[in-house]
Amino acid sequence: MNHFLDIDATSSDALRGIINNARAMKTARAGKPKGTPDADQPLAGHMVALIFEKPSTRTRVSFDVGVRQMGGQTMVLSGADMQLGHGETIADTARVLSRYVDLIMIRTFEEQTLLDMAEYATVPVINGLTNRTHPCQIMADVMTFEEHNGPIKGKKVVWSGDGNNVFASFAHAAKQFEFDLVFTGPPPLDPEPALNGLYTKVRDPNEAVQGADLVVTDTWVSMHDPQSARERRHNQLRGYQVNDALMAKAKDDALFMHCLPAHRDDEATSSVMDGPSSVIFDEAENRLHAQKAIMRYCLGV
């Protein structure tokens, strides 16, 4: 049984195997209607619980479609449905769910909720996102980069903005996939200290993106942030917007990524998001293929 909790908790060989499998499954489905079953049906007979304490578009749809394409069934549960951690303990919830399903994906707030679920479940658990990390997203990002520009090993990836949970998973990936990661953002929004040594910090975004193979950003505010925090973050991050002038300092064939949803013309301009460097919708599609490969890895099928 293999959990998929974080990129740094999964071996580099396993990660590479997931990427390769994702690309093979994507190729095998080329041109087929989205509802067409995969030929091999590796999840036939399997039930997958999809737990969402946080709202979701891409995570919910991609996991649900992925399970169905592979012949499995899904049970979608919200935090309100389960009162996760409020009435029953996470440990008891994990034990009970393990009697009903073969695999659990959880998108939650606190990292400890994920860790408790994995500790007490007797089936594999996948991290669909926590406040600390977002490993499924970065697996799709690595897959997308390599589709367009070849192996990511040795390439320069620049993150502009908030050192958030998505950045944390990029930092883990930088070590596992052996690429150079640069963070550019304001001091109050630096990444967590535990990530020190996995990336280089350059305050000036114009300097940071010189020679970049990939430029990445994310939303400046969360749906849960109060108005005061939104205004403060906009003031802090305005100088780190990814616009045409900033992208022009990267390599000619540099790519632009954003995990979405985006606040257009805040963290990135529409001209960049819709421009020739942008692969944001390929990136979104590849959530499906990468997560299908992650599920197969977890179940060993």
**Tokens 């974080």 belong to which residue?**
6
136 is annotated as an active-site residue: no
Phi-psi region of 300 (alpha: psi -120 to 50; beta: other; left: phi over 0): left
Q: Helices in the chain by DSSP H: which ranges?
A: 12-29, 58-69, 79-82, 90-100, 111-120, 135-149, 165-177, 205-208, 227-237, 244-247, 270-273, 280-299
Phi-psi region of 197 (alpha: psi -120 to 50; beta: other; left: phi over 0): left
227 is annotated as an active-site residue: no
> Active site residue: 3, 107, 233, 258, which one?
107
> Active site residue: 69, 137, 241, 291, which one?
137
298 is annotated as an active-site residue: no
137 is annotated as an active-site residue: yes
> Active site residue: 132, 259, 289, 298, which one?
259
d(CA 218, CA 4): 23
Which residues neighbour 41 within 8 Å (Cβ) at sequence distance 6 or greater?
A: 70, 71
> Active site residue: 287, 291, 296, 298, which one?
287
> Active site residue: 134, 172, 233, 258, which one?
134
Total Cβ atoms within 10 A of residue 262: 16
> Active site residue: 218, 233, 241, 289, which one?
218
d(CA 172, CA 98): 29
Which residues neighbour 265 within 8 Å (Cβ) at sequence distance 6 or greater?
A: none
**The token pair that represents 286 in the structure block:** 């590849």
Closest of 122, 202, 130 to residue 168, by C-alpha: 130
Burial environment of residue 145 by CB neighbours within 10 A (0 to 12, 13 to 18, 19 or more): buried
Max CA distance (Å), the chain: 55
218 is annotated as an active-site residue: yes
- Give the residue numbers marked as catalytic: 107, 134, 137, 218, 259, 287
